[in-house]
Structure 1
Amino acid sequence: MGLCHSNCPFVEQKCHRIKVSRPTEGGVWPTTNGFSLDHTTKSAKTLGRTRTTSPKTNERGMNLGSSGGTSTSGHTSSGYSSGNAPGTSSSSTGGGATSSEMPAEIRPKVVTVKHPESNKPKPTTKKGKAIQADVDVIKEFQRCKEENILRLDLSKSSITVIPPSVKDCTSLIEFYLYGNKISSLPVEIGCLSNLKTLALNENSLTSLPDSLQNLKALKVLDLRHNKLSEIPDVIYKLHTLTTLYLRFNRIKVVGDNLKNLSSLTMLSLRENKIHELPAAIGHLRNLTTLDLSHNHLKHLPEAIGNCVNLTALDLQHNDLLDIPETIGNLANLQRLGLRYNQLTAIPVSLRNCIHMDEFNVEGNSISQLPDGLLASLSNLTTITLSRNAFHSYPSGGPAQFTNVTSINMEHNQIDKIQYGIFSRAKGLTKLNMKENALTSLPLDIGTWSQMVELNFGTNSLAKLPDDIHCLQNLEILILSNNMLKRIPNTIGNLKKLRVLDLEENRLESLPSEIGLLHDLQKLILQSNALQSLPRTIGHLTNLTYLSVGENNLQYLPEEIGTLENLESLYINDNASLVKLPYELALCQNLAIMSIENCPLSALPPEVVGGGPSLVIQYLKLHSPYRQM
């Protein structure tokens, strides 16, 4: 293996300059919808350390965690995060006053509340200087020359310049330079004739030297997270490339010379500014993965249908108005990302893509699908039609859901679920119908025996069918933002229920059978018209989250003291709640509590004014269970 010397013919070649766009932020962006089309390389060094800051406290709210601990609170409509109930300010998460006069055995744990600002990324301090790093590079190149090293990893080493002595590293097969501060490459890079993998991602490159075309063995080129405003011409001359990553640059145009890269199997142009894809894409017949997501494409060329070996095509987050019929030629397609475009229709030919296991068109303007499309895609297990313009379920009958396990129709205009539509969906476990126009549920809901998660939130339901008790496998039931006035007594038969969300309905009472839900962990009753809670609520010993704020509660049952696992309690905005049971002090795991806008007139004003922490202390001090 000969070494490139000082009269290397590549040394005098000039670097092809590229227009510089405004600098972009670094870092790796998350993928969407399950697509992960870029490879990830491990860093060789860790140069930063995290500096922590002390949390701040507010005046209201409570955290009864261990000394020096932190707590964050925030309430969502689905009730899955522990925190402020709706209608309360951020001040409901803070430490109450403490009493130095209380006996040690009833003194509460120290209250510490995490300030919202502490959720921001912590500043990092980098070690070393770039100048020293460049000197180390020369040493590494010398070692590479002497030892005929095949793989060199200089990633995340604060390198700013690649010295010309890189020409001596002709033995290299893999060269990793990602996560540095390199703005240009020396022409000597073209001397690495054996190189197969070159990772230059997360740098500041605006151009590439023409000498790069001499890397006749190069197969993998990673240029993610740089500052390229166009694809350098030299890339089109790398005919041996099989994998090309150009994600997160500022590329606006893809040239016709793309056809020269006929060996490509993976091409990622994600997160650029591309408005048009050339017909030359059709020459890349070896492509198996093509990521064009997060660009500005409005149309695709018909030639996309020539890429017959594609198994993954990601087009989500573009401006696509249509999909060409030639998409049906991609018979090997398994994953197709169409989320968040401007599509109004799906081509009939897509039924030929029978290997797809997921159909997701979330965030478009589609009102109907071609007849029988979903039934033709018999391998589908997940269907997501959320955030479109559907007024009814797609035509195709029960056959279209035969093998489906999850259906998401959230945020459409569907007013009815047809009787028997899921009669063949024996494996259906998740159904999301949130934010539609449902006024009733189908009479055969009792046959959905395998259902694990049901979301009917934000509809117009006034009644639940009694045979909902047949859903013996149900674990999550969301009925928030409806018009329910009662819950059937049969609710107690849902033995596996872990989450029950009834927020913002018109409930005046709960059936005592609610106490039979022994596995229940989260119960959300916020914003109803409840005047009391059933005493059987004390049987919910696995409950960790209870939200009953914004009701008409006059008291809490003494049995609440048996909720030994309760961590978050929201009783805010109950205008008639004048006292709290002493038994509440027995909830030793209680960490977050909101009592805002409750009169609690049976307690001393100075105790109430001190916030939840002081209220709990008072209840402990005066409790008949004090010695327990």
Structure 2
Amino acid sequence: MSAKTKNKHDQSESPRLGASAFSARSKRVTVNMGDGQKVKTLTPKQRGATTEQKSVAKDVKKVMAKCKEEHDMRLDLSRCEVTELPRYIKELSHLEEMYLYGNRLTTLPPEISSLLNLKILALSENMLSSLPDEAESLLCLKVLDLRHNRLKEVPFVVYQLRSLQTLFLRFNRVTSLTPEIKNLTQLTTLSMRENKFKELPEEIGYLRCLSVLDVAHNHLEHLPHSIGNCNQLVTLDVQHNELVDLPETIGCLTCLKRLGIRYNRIREIPAELEKCSDLEEFNIEQNKLKTLPEGLLKRFKNCSSLQLARNQFEEFPSGPPAQFGPLTSFSIEHNKVTIVPFGVFSEAKKLTKVHLKDNLISSLPLDFGSWVQITELNLASNQISKLPDDIKHLTKLEVLILSNNVIKLLPKSIGGLCNLIHLDLEGNRLESLPAEIGYLTSLTKLSVQSNRLTVLPRGIGHLVNLKHFSAGENNLTQLPEEMGTLESLEELYLNDNPNLQMLPFELALCRKLALMSIEGCPLGRLPPQVVDGGPSAIIMYLRTQGPYRAMSFS
């Protein structure tokens, strides 16, 4: 996961951040050694208390004094390079919210115990490895944020904070929870993702107020059976673990709407999951599943997204077409499916995205033309040799991916896809393109890379919105003059066409053309010195030496 993604997730799960009262930036001091040695640069840590550090301490004291004077319920010292919270924090006993995000704290002073009214304590992005026992006095605390610290265990004092409703422990080094977790019966949100948990204690079942439990990106192999007692759970995220199964008690989570179990090692889904009929999304990507329990999907009346990718399915889940009725998105990519059943989507009136990539499909069902609501269809990396003429009825299609199949000929009816924006035909066996390809005037991206084309149809010139055109690794001998009308063209890939000797001067009219790949093309009818100069020299030659040289290309 990228740092940018992590930050976005952190903000979504954290209490609202306020603006810092001030900011201080780290500086380095240059010292002349005076004896001919090189100038030495000292960091604040090396040189002790610098003027800037003293200034920061002074500013912290000033902010805290103002908070006390104005009886402000909220103190924000986030990202102020605070290394130690002053002991006179005890004078702010009226505080209800304290934000210390992004500092250098390694501990908190015992005087924290004076903040008896504190409800929110935000300590994310520090260097904490523990909390003082005195924090047990924070009996009103409802939100504790300890994300991005150096905790190897949950500080025991946390288990004493029985009023906690939200606990964030993300991105630490914690390996386990102790049975004392049962004390936190008021918790509604518990986030422990990106730690080193190998198991959860059975006492997790005492947390019956939980609505969100996030233990994604850990090393869990099993969930405790007591998870079924957390029957208020709305979100359960255990993706990216090492789960080999799910307990049957998961069926007791009847309020569940979001279940994240992708990227695990699960071989079987318990039939009891059908009781979780409020699920809005069912994503089991990257597990070891071959089948689903009979009738499971039809119980998910509100499920709009079904993701079965990267498993071991050899066929579509069994059941009536109605089981796909609520779906807007369906994926069974990277499996071993050979047949798309007739009528499988006949009741999926809301379905817009279908991803069947990387299977063993050789043909499409006879009712393929009835998939009229689909806007995105990915059939890449299968064994499809022919597209049905009925494809013309899929007029809402915007993205059609057919790369890496064995298609030799496109039907003329493909010209009826008037809303198509992206068409990928790379890696097939096409020897020609129908003239009707020119009717796809909404296209912005077209790839016919790695086929057996010798010519392109003149109708290609009608694709006035085309920005990216890839026709490399073919047997093209020439390009049509009509290419010059592609006024939106920005990228043109012609590489590895061994018989392409010349480019039309009309390419000079493609004013937006910024990238052209011609590696592996002899271009013998162009001056050798121009070809040696590369794509930019070729474009300049076409513009200055051809019949359009009198035109301005600025």
TM-score range, shorter chain: over 0.9
In structure 2, what is the Cα distance between the partners aligned to 1:282 and 1:191? Answer: 33
Residue among 193, 198, 213 paired with 1:275: 198
Shift of 1:593: 1.0
Shift of 1:133: 2.0
Residue among 494, 498, 506 paired with 1:583: 506
Residue among 594, 604, 609 paired with 2:517: 594
In structure 2, what is the Cα distance between the partners aligned to 1:274 and 1:424? Answer: 43
Q: Name the structure 2 match of 1:320.
A: 243
Q: Name the structure 1 match of 2:6.
A: 29
8 A Cα contact 2:14 2:145, kept in partner: no
Residue among 291, 294, 298 paired with 2:217: 294
8 A Cα contact 2:222 2:245, kept in partner: yes
Aligned letter for 2:526?
A: L
8 A Cα contact 2:163 2:186, kept in partner: yes
Aligned letter for 1:181?
A: R
Shift of 1:46: 6.6
Question: Secondary structure of 2:6's match?
Answer: coil
8 A Cα contact 2:18 2:76, kept in partner: no
Q: Name the structure 1 match of 2:282.
A: 359
The answer as to 2:511 corresponding to 1:535 is no
The answer as to 2:315 corresponding to 1:338 is no
CA 1:513–1:40: 2 relative to 1, 3 Å: farther
The answer as to 2:92 corresponding to 1:169 is yes
Cα distance per residue 1:265-306 (max 9 Å; x no partner): 100011100111001110000111000111111011110000
Cα distance per residue 1:305-359 (max 9 Å; x no partner): 0001110010000100110010011110010000100000111111111111111
In structure 1, what is the Cα distance between the partners aligned to 2:232 and 2:114? Answer: 34
Residue among 161, 164, 168 paired with 1:245: 168
In structure 2, what is the Cα distance between the partners aligned to 1:385 and 1:31? Answer: 26
CA 1:577–1:412: 2 relative to 1, 3 Å: same
Aligned letter for 1:379?
A: N
Residue among 447, 471, 474 paired with 1:524: 447
In structure 2, what is the Cα distance between the partners aligned to 1:366 and 1:434? Answer: 17
In structure 2, what is the Cα distance between the partners aligned to 1:236 and 1:134? Answer: 32
Q: Name the structure 2 match of 1:216.
A: 139
Q: Name the structure 2 match of 1:22.
A: none
Q: Name the structure 1 match of 2:71.
A: 148
In structure 2, what is the Cα distance between the partners aligned to 1:545 and 1:47? Answer: 47
Shift of 1:397: 2.2
In structure 2, what is the Cα distance between the partners aligned to 1:26 and 1:584? Answer: 42
Q: Name the structure 1 match of 2:17.
A: 41
Of 402-411 and 143-152, the range deviating more from structure 2: 143-152
The answer as to 2:350 corresponding to 1:400 is no
Aligned letter for 2:294?
A: D
8 A Cα contact 1:437 1:460, kept in partner: yes
Q: Name the structure 1 match of 2:35.
A: none
CA 1:487–1:226: 2 relative to 1, 3 Å: same
8 A Cα contact 1:37 1:289, kept in partner: no
Residue among 421, 431, 447 paired with 1:508: 431
8 A Cα contact 1:509 1:532, kept in partner: yes
Percent identity over the alignment is: 53
Q: Name the structure 2 match of 1:110.
A: none
Q: Name the structure 1 match of 2:42.
A: none
Q: Name the structure 2 match of 1:431.
A: 354
CA 1:603–1:40: 2 relative to 1, 3 Å: farther
8 A Cα contact 1:266 1:290, kept in partner: yes
In structure 1, what is the Cα distance between the partners aligned to 2:390 and 2:525? Answer: 43
Question: Secondary structure of 2:121's match?
Answer: strand
In structure 2, what is the Cα distance between the partners aligned to 1:365 and 1:134? Answer: 56
Residue-pair matches, total: 526
Residue among 143, 154, 170 paired with 1:231: 154
Shift of 1:134: 2.7
Shift of 1:43: 5.2
Question: Could you tell me the TM-score, scaled by structure 2's length?
Answer: 0.92
Aligned letter for 2:133?
A: D
Is there any run of 5+ residues in structure 2 with no aligned partner, and where?
27-50
In structure 2, what is the Cα distance between the partners aligned to 1:567 and 1:487? Answer: 26
In structure 1, what is the Cα distance between the partners aligned to 2:5 and 2:108? Answer: 22
The answer as to 2:383 corresponding to 1:460 is yes
Question: Could you tell me the TM-score, scaled by structure 1's length?
Answer: 0.82
> Does 1 or 2 have the higher relative contact order (CA < 8 Å, sep 6+)?
1
8 A Cα contact 1:406 1:429, kept in partner: yes
In structure 2, what is the Cα distance between the partners aligned to 1:616 and 1:159? Answer: 58
Cα distance per residue 1:334-393 (max 9 Å; x no partner): 100001000001111111111111110001000000000001111111100000000000
8 A Cα contact 1:524 1:547, kept in partner: yes
Shift of 1:627: 2.1
Write out aligned runs for 1:172-211 (5 A): 172-211=95-134
Cα distance per residue 1:471-516 (max 9 Å; x no partner): 0111110000000001000000111111100000000100000000
The answer as to 2:544 corresponding to 1:621 is yes
Aligned letter for 1:552?
A: N
8 A Cα contact 2:148 2:172, kept in partner: yes
Question: Secondary structure of 2:118's match?
Answer: coil
8 A Cα contact 2:205 2:226, kept in partner: yes
In structure 2, what is the Cα distance between the partners aligned to 1:38 and 1:147? Answer: 26
CA 1:512–1:30: 2 relative to 1, 3 Å: farther
Is there any run of 5+ residues in structure 1 with no aligned partner, and where?
1-24, 50-127
Q: Name the structure 1 match of 2:394.
A: 471
8 A Cα contact 1:458 1:482, kept in partner: yes
Cα distance per residue 1:64-112 (max 9 Å; x no partner): xxxxxxxxxxxxxxxxxxxxxxxxxxxxxxxxxxxxxxxxxxxxxxxxx
CA 1:43–1:323: 2 relative to 1, 3 Å: farther
CA 1:445–1:361: 2 relative to 1, 3 Å: same
Question: Secondary structure of 1:298's match?
Answer: coil
Question: Secondary structure of 1:359's match?
Answer: strand
